[in-house]
Structure 1
Amino acid sequence: MKLLVLGVLAAAFVAQTVGALLPHVPLLLAATAGSLAAEGMLYRWQRGMVSLFAKSHADVTVRHVLRDLLLVVGLLRLGEQHRETVYAPLVAGLLAFYGLHWAIQAVSVLVRRTRTPPVVTRNIDASALRLTPAPPVLLRRPGPRLAAFGLPATAGLVATAATDAAVYGAAGLALSLTAASAGLVALLVRLLPGRRPAGEREVLDWFEAWLAEYRPTVGLYFSGGASSAYQANMWLEPLARLEGRPLIVLRERFMVQRIAATDIPVVCLPKVSTLMSLEHSTLRVLLHPSNSGKTSQVLRIPTIKHAFVNHGESDKLSSCNPYAKAYDEVWVAGPAARERYALAEVGVEDKDVVEIGRPQLETVQPYAGPPAAAAFTTVLYAPTWEGWDGNPGNTSVVEAGENLVRALLADPGVRLLYKPHPLTGSVDPRAGAADLRIRELVRAANRERSGPRPEPSAAGESARRAAELDRLTAVGFRSAADQMERMLRGSAPEPGRAGAVARATAAWESAYWASLPEWEHQVVTDARPPLYTCFNRADLLISDVSSVISDFLASGKPYAVANTSGLAEDGFRKSFPTVAAATVLAPDAAGVPELLDAVRHPERDTLAGERAALALRLLGPAGPPSQERFAGAVRALCAAAGEHRARMERRLAADLPLPGPRRESAISLPTVTAGTCVDLRKLVCSPQPISESSNIDSDNQGSS
């Protein structure tokens, strides 16, 4: 289909060129019509090719200009034989239209700049910033705008070439000129002083005033790519259940909409200079679920304590990254992670490691016995992705995935849930190709199966529950919305929404699974149902060395790990402690039948005791609950941050020397009085004496 569209479009332009140069009116008309039809096919069925054309510098603007240019050439060639004085004004009108088009583009850039705030928010009332809805999408995107506004002119010129009647071209050009003029006026009005949104300085002043009023205590800091949002989303509920006033701090503007539904205020601070405004706020602790290049920027704020909480723990090297020593504390689930850091010798001191468990796992249901009475044994195959280091043992998808799935599908008593990692295939194309083949295996197996299906009302109930949940958790906006419009619509949530979302989520999950045939295999790739919900439906997990198996241990159910590392089983178990209580499967999946037999008959399950012991090592004790330990760690680190601030303020008040090497010259410090805003960065980080007249740019300071 792609080649067909490309071939039709290329052939149409070639034919249009020939028809214009001869000139040959029937060929010119047919080629132009074919070109427009190919454009429609492109945007209707081959949206992926639109970006490909853009990368080749042949986007819709270039194609439309070329199409009109060939029409003009044809008209002028016809004018040599007929009435050049009649066709020349049409050409002038077309040039005027293109002049308006580029004027609209220039003004739209100015409007976009006024609508790009230095701070992007969600769940915050920002109406004081004079926010307005975004301009229509046609006024902001040059390609679609040219295609839409220029279509009447193109159609009129085609009609003129066909009938030799200039009135059609004049009418089409009049419509295009009118539409372009109206669009230009609509954009110019937005630049009037009374219609502009708040400027940068006004927005920053408003944000600092909001910080002073909200008085945040603990925040979640996140920076990353679009596909990594899950790393932050897994910490939203534990953060929301904390006492105090939590905050989510982001660095990329697009990430504001990637964060899942939450009542917690969300702020995006793209610039370092804006980020430094947090220094003067009441924020005491920032939690970091991942490392990124921009993390080093926020670590420069000395008034805030930083804790690395990670987005999951496993035996991979990424779970004991040397970057972790940059944080004040490293929070881990259980003793195994503490030992992992000690053995890795990456500079993380044992006193800075705090065990908090995994508060996300409170929704994971405990083992309720084998699926003996059930018609099907539900197996969750949740492989991880290939990683960055090229280690074949990272993911089982490439070498073992298809074998495992075939072995599972061969058992008529198995129902498979296949949930690949969101990043599968992002580094190694072989992983992406294997993933697609596995999905096809699942679809083929479903075509060969049959059985009773739920009543149609079950699907309707699932759809109704999904719609209700979407309404409560909606974080998306109309496609034409820009950042400023999203800030306008994404104001503070209604009271009680969090409880309503929890109830709606439970109702949707029940309706969702009830709407699916009990015998039907499922490929789970959407955000819903989440991984932990799949845990609760599964009787057995098959995965790789990743945080998935650590989290699954909270259920107490059997699990297996695919060994594609090339190591012998004994060496594999010694190298990866999280495999200690697992059934190890070879790439050929020969052990799957025996594994299923042990799951169905608990007397043959010899690893139950080892799973309980391993869960204690990996996740910590069951009591007190992990959420309480998490909250306690937050309180303790907040208290440490408060004590640090108090010491620095006392040092200023007592006119004591700065920490560090003793200087011969005296240091003049400003007097601290009640209500004074103390710049602790200057106190702690500055290598030079500080006076009241010091003016140090925060972007030029070293790490704290």
Structure 2
Amino acid sequence: MPLPLSRTGRPSRSGRPSRPRRRLTAGVGRRRASPRPPGRPLVAGGLTAAVLAAAFVAQTAGALLPHVPLLLAATAVSLAAEGVLARWQPGVLAMLAKSHADLTVRHVLRDLLLVVGLLRLGEHDREPQFAWPVAGLLVFYALHCAVQAVSVLVRRTRTLPVLTRNIDASALRLSPAPAALLRRPGRRLLLLGLPTTAGLAAAAATREALPAAAGTAVSVVLAAAGLGVLLVRLLPSRRPAGEQEVLDWFDRWLADYRPTVGLYFSGGASSAYQANMWLETMSRIDGRPVVILRERFMVARIAATDLPVVCLPKVSTLMRLEHSTLRVLIHPSNSGKTSQVLRIPTIKHAFVNHGESDKLSSCNPYAKAYDEVWVAGPEARERYARAGVGVEDKDVVEIGRPQLDAVRPRSGPPAVGARTTVLYAPTWEGWDGNPGNTSVVAAGENLVRALLADPGVRLLYKPHPLTGSVEPAAGAADRRIRELIRAANRERSAAPPESAAERDRLAAELDRLTTELDRLTAAGVREGADQAERMLVQSAPPPGRAEAVARATAAWEEAYWACLPQDEHRVVTGVRPALYSCFNAADLLISDVSSVISDFLAGGKPYAVVNTGGTAEDAFRAAFPTVAAATVLTPDASGVPALLEAVRHPEKDGLADARAELRLRLLGPDEPTSLERCNAALRALSAAAPDHGERGDRAGARHPRSRRLAEDLLPPPRRASGTGAGADAGRADSVTPPSRPGPPV
């Protein structure tokens, strides 16, 4: 009986949550900047906040004494600290705002202290001269409050009940967003109030009221101009369409496009990869696909695609899908909002997951809420049977993994004299604190040292983005591993001089391709655009954009690996290169128990799994079927030399047949292809959905247009007979459009 190992809490590694993208080059002598330890930003932010507080104290002293040099110096330091916080320390700004010391309070205090200093410096008979600057200061702050109120109204008019991409939204009277300065109160006050602050400081230095009056006048004029710009946005002719108008437009689009299959996704900011990995498959399946999201921020996080993307934040808007032609929704993840769409009885639901592994999350009890569970191969079917979570075997459908078409099969061992590329891709520590979740803490440094000690190895280290998010020891181990890799790169001999020019040429080409790929994937959206502007700019993809992105991505990956010297190790983070690209570059994978193993097996290459749970090897293999064809490594990394020897000499690889057998169990057969099996499953489930006649009869009284749409889609014999779903079995072509339309415009 296998030991009860904990296998919970480790998210899939088949696609990674993305970090902010960084430009990557590979020129001679250029290295990736090492990440800052987590404590450094906190310390820097604390020091900046302390400087700001000290500046206010000094400014107060300078105003009360009065002491002009101290007052002016403290004001300048205070403004500089504000700029540093606004540019590099947003977390400190948030903390100050929670303490009711937000920028408005600080700015008012700064100007008030300057006014106090002026009054203390001025003679009593000249104090009336400063009445006008003080009055102008009050007017400026009144305008600031008015601008903020109007900006909120403008934002509400631009918050639409439906957000889209790749759908013509010209009928909604969308327009570019107002300037970001007018939408951000803190930055607006800091910049527009700068003339007032500078004028007051100049008045303190000269003891004349004119500079203060001029400064406040400039700030008042700028604030009034901003208010006017925003007020124009509230005119009926300048506002976007209202809520009901948008909903009517969305209903018309559903009627015109007639979607048949959708990818439904809801999740947090770091989970977009779970939907992105299915976009390419959705673009190739039969029918008219649509991507349905629930969170507004997710619209911008979905990768470049020509598929129509729809975001329906409210449940009431989501329920309008009941009157559409949608027959099947595909779910790559579970979320709290999944239960809302499952209430629609006219749509069948299939759970496809975003990766399969031996952890319990790959056979979650929630899966029984779906009509069917689509899995890769027989092993996943047996996993559900063993788990006993209520998913019946008849509801499990094997479709393979269509995404793995990007993984190239093994072409053979490394060439003689070439480096052996090893991909070390550990998972993160999980939520339960089990030391067997990740190998980073107990074995990571030993593994990396053993790999770096072999002069014939080129190491690719791709840690999970969540490493260190729960257990600080994992983050510390990750940083030490990165330092080991940097030290190894420093010790290796530099490239020969004759190759420097070629490497510079390759680096320049990589930079060019990075710029091109960024341009294609950004789709012309400017920085500072709001959601309505994004909807306008991304209303229709340029013809052939998807193919152009695919070509640019392939060219970028080829240039990336060409730029990477054979003797240089690399820490791979960020969106590019993708995990599957690392698979293709690697000769060997070392990982933990996670879905990355199943995906790597598509290439047929050797792999190893690290056993850090203190379990006997036989029990470890029995507990985790995906380890059956792996070399099991212990935390001391003593098996690394023999593992590398087996990779370089296939005759010493005794697990090749086991990998082929396990690949068949995990991913299913090669024929029919995974895409063909996916389409077959889609047709079968679509045929089981309630036909349009039933939908029209049930919803006609409430939604007459839906009845007419159902009658238009239904073939005449079916409409006359009025039979249900049972008679429709095997006739998916009666409800699936015979051909895909072109990209929606």
Is the structural similarity TM-score above 0.5? yes
1:299/1:214 CA distance change after superposition, 3 Å: same
Equivalent-residue separation in structure 2 for 1:223 and 1:651 (angstroms) = 28
1:263 equivalent in structure 2: 306
1:374/1:239 CA distance change after superposition, 3 Å: farther
1 or 2 for the larger relative contact order (CA 8 Å, sep ≥6)? 2
Between 1:163-172 and 1:557-566, the stretch displaced more is: 557-566
Q: Which amino acid aligns with 1:129?
A: L
Residue 116 of structure 1 aligns to a residue whose secondary structure is coil
Equivalent-residue separation in structure 1 for 2:109 and 2:380 (angstroms) = 62
1:81/1:583 CA distance change after superposition, 3 Å: farther
Correspondence for 1:523 among 534, 546, 571: 571
1:106 equivalent in structure 2: 149
Cα offset, 1:46, TM superposition:
4.1
Q: Which amino acid aligns with 2:672?
A: P
Q: Does 1:513 align with 2:561?
A: yes
Correspondence for 2:708 among 675, 678, 700: 675
2:419 equivalent in structure 1: 376
1:525/1:96 CA distance change after superposition, 3 Å: same
2:475 equivalent in structure 1: 432
Equivalent-residue separation in structure 1 for 2:122 and 2:255 (angstroms) = 72
Correspondence for 1:629 among 674, 677, 702: 677
1:701 equivalent in structure 2: none
Residue 213 of structure 2 aligns to a residue whose secondary structure is helix
Q: Does 1:307 align with 2:355?
A: no
Q: Does 1:603 align with 2:651?
A: yes
Equivalent-residue separation in structure 2 for 1:400 and 1:43 (angstroms) = 41
Equivalent-residue separation in structure 1 for 2:548 and 2:417 (angstroms) = 32
Correspondence for 1:116 among 159, 167, 182: 159
1:567 equivalent in structure 2: 615
2:733 equivalent in structure 1: none
Correspondence for 1:97 among 123, 133, 140: 140
* Number of equivalences: 664
1:401 equivalent in structure 2: 444
Correspondence for 1:297 among 325, 331, 340: 340
Q: Does 1:356 align with 2:402?
A: no
1:696 equivalent in structure 2: none
Cα offset, 1:190, TM superposition:
0.6
Cα offset, 1:475, TM superposition:
4.8
Residue by residue, what CA displacement relative to the aligned partner does 1:545-597 show, whole Å, maximum 9, x if unpaired? 10000110111111011112232211111100000111111122222122112
Q: Map 1:314-353; keep pairs closer than 5 Å.
A: 314-353=357-396
Correspondence for 2:294 among 251, 269, 276: 251
Q: Does 1:548 align with 2:596?
A: yes
1:493 equivalent in structure 2: 541
Correspondence for 2:55 among 12, 20, 23: 12
Q: Does 1:278 align with 2:311?
A: no
Between 1:47-56 and 1:322-331, the stretch displaced more is: 47-56
Residue by residue, what CA displacement relative to the aligned partner does 1:447-500 show, whole Å, maximum 9, x if unpaired? 222342543111111122222222222257222210100001001112222222
Q: Which amino acid aligns with 2:533?
A: E
Where do 5+ consecutive residues of structure 2 fail to align? 1-43, 712-723, 725-745
Cα offset, 1:438, TM superposition:
2.0
Residue 385 of structure 1 aligns to a residue whose secondary structure is coil
Equivalent-residue separation in structure 2 for 1:60 and 1:515 (angstroms) = 46
2:233 equivalent in structure 1: 190
Equivalent-residue separation in structure 1 for 2:266 and 2:699 (angstroms) = 34
Is the 8 Å Cα contact of residues 405 and 438 (structure 1) preserved in structure 2? Answer: yes
Equivalent-residue separation in structure 2 for 1:216 and 1:674 (angstroms) = 16
1:441/1:56 CA distance change after superposition, 3 Å: farther
Q: Does 1:135 align with 2:178?
A: yes
Cα offset, 1:637, TM superposition:
1.1
Equivalent-residue separation in structure 2 for 1:67 and 1:507 (angstroms) = 54
1:587 equivalent in structure 2: 635
Cα offset, 1:511, TM superposition:
1.4
Is the 8 Å Cα contact of residues 543 and 549 (structure 1) preserved in structure 2? Answer: yes
Cα offset, 1:392, TM superposition:
2.3
Equivalent-residue separation in structure 2 for 1:518 and 1:167 (angstroms) = 68
1:477 equivalent in structure 2: 525
Q: Does 1:209 align with 2:242?
A: no
Equivalent-residue separation in structure 1 for 2:339 and 2:432 (angstroms) = 23
2:41 equivalent in structure 1: none
Equivalent-residue separation in structure 2 for 1:438 and 1:459 (angstroms) = 26
Q: Which amino acid aligns with 1:90?
A: P
Residue 106 of structure 2 aligns to a residue whose secondary structure is helix
Cα offset, 1:598, TM superposition:
1.5
Q: Does 1:219 align with 2:262?
A: yes
1:399/1:280 CA distance change after superposition, 3 Å: same
2:510 equivalent in structure 1: 462
Residue 410 of structure 2 aligns to a residue whose secondary structure is coil
Is the 8 Å Cα contact of residues 652 and 672 (structure 1) preserved in structure 2? Answer: no
Between 1:456-465 and 1:120-129, the stretch displaced more is: 456-465
2:20 equivalent in structure 1: none
Residue by residue, what CA displacement relative to the aligned partner does 1:647-692 show, whole Å, maximum 9, x if unpaired? 5667999xxxxxxxxxxxxxx99999962879xxxxx9xxxxxxxx
Cα offset, 1:518, TM superposition:
1.7
1:673/1:377 CA distance change after superposition, 3 Å: closer
Correspondence for 1:151 among 189, 194, 199: 194
1:496/1:676 CA distance change after superposition, 3 Å: closer
Correspondence for 1:537 among 585, 606, 609: 585
Is the 8 Å Cα contact of residues 50 and 59 (structure 1) preserved in structure 2? Answer: yes
Is the 8 Å Cα contact of residues 227 and 423 (structure 1) preserved in structure 2? Answer: no
Equivalent-residue separation in structure 1 for 2:452 and 2:115 (angstroms) = 63
Residue 254 of structure 2 aligns to a residue whose secondary structure is helix
2:29 equivalent in structure 1: none
Where do 5+ consecutive residues of structure 1 fail to align? 654-667, 679-683, 685-704
State the Cα RMSD in Å.
Answer: 2.2
1:107/1:369 CA distance change after superposition, 3 Å: same
Equivalent-residue separation in structure 2 for 1:298 and 1:179 (angstroms) = 48
Cα offset, 1:278, TM superposition:
0.7
Residue 330 of structure 1 aligns to a residue whose secondary structure is strand
Between 1:398-407 and 1:482-491, the stretch displaced more is: 398-407
Equivalent-residue separation in structure 1 for 2:319 and 2:704 (angstroms) = 23
Is the 8 Å Cα contact of residues 79 and 87 (structure 1) preserved in structure 2? Answer: no
1:71/1:650 CA distance change after superposition, 3 Å: closer
Q: Which amino acid aligns with 1:544?
A: D
Between 1:399-408 and 1:100-109, the stretch displaced more is: 399-408
Residue 83 of structure 1 aligns to a residue whose secondary structure is helix
Cα offset, 1:194, TM superposition:
1.3
Equivalent-residue separation in structure 2 for 1:347 and 1:475 (angstroms) = 44
Q: Map 1:54-69; keep pairs closer than 5 Å.
A: 54-69=97-112
Is the 8 Å Cα contact of residues 257 and 476 (structure 1) preserved in structure 2? Answer: no
Q: Tell me the TM-score normalised to structure 1 length.
A: 0.91
Residue 193 of structure 2 aligns to a residue whose secondary structure is helix
Is the 8 Å Cα contact of residues 203 and 209 (structure 2) preserved in structure 1? Answer: yes
Q: Which amino acid aligns with 2:632?
A: V
Equivalent-residue separation in structure 2 for 1:375 and 1:151 (angstroms) = 61
Q: Which amino acid aligns with 1:570?
A: D
Is the 8 Å Cα contact of residues 425 and 463 (structure 2) preserved in structure 1? Answer: yes
Residue 136 of structure 2 aligns to a residue whose secondary structure is helix
Q: Which amino acid aligns with 2:441?
A: V
Work out the percentage of aligned pairs sharing the same amino acid. Answer: 75
Equivalent-residue separation in structure 2 for 1:259 and 1:91 (angstroms) = 50
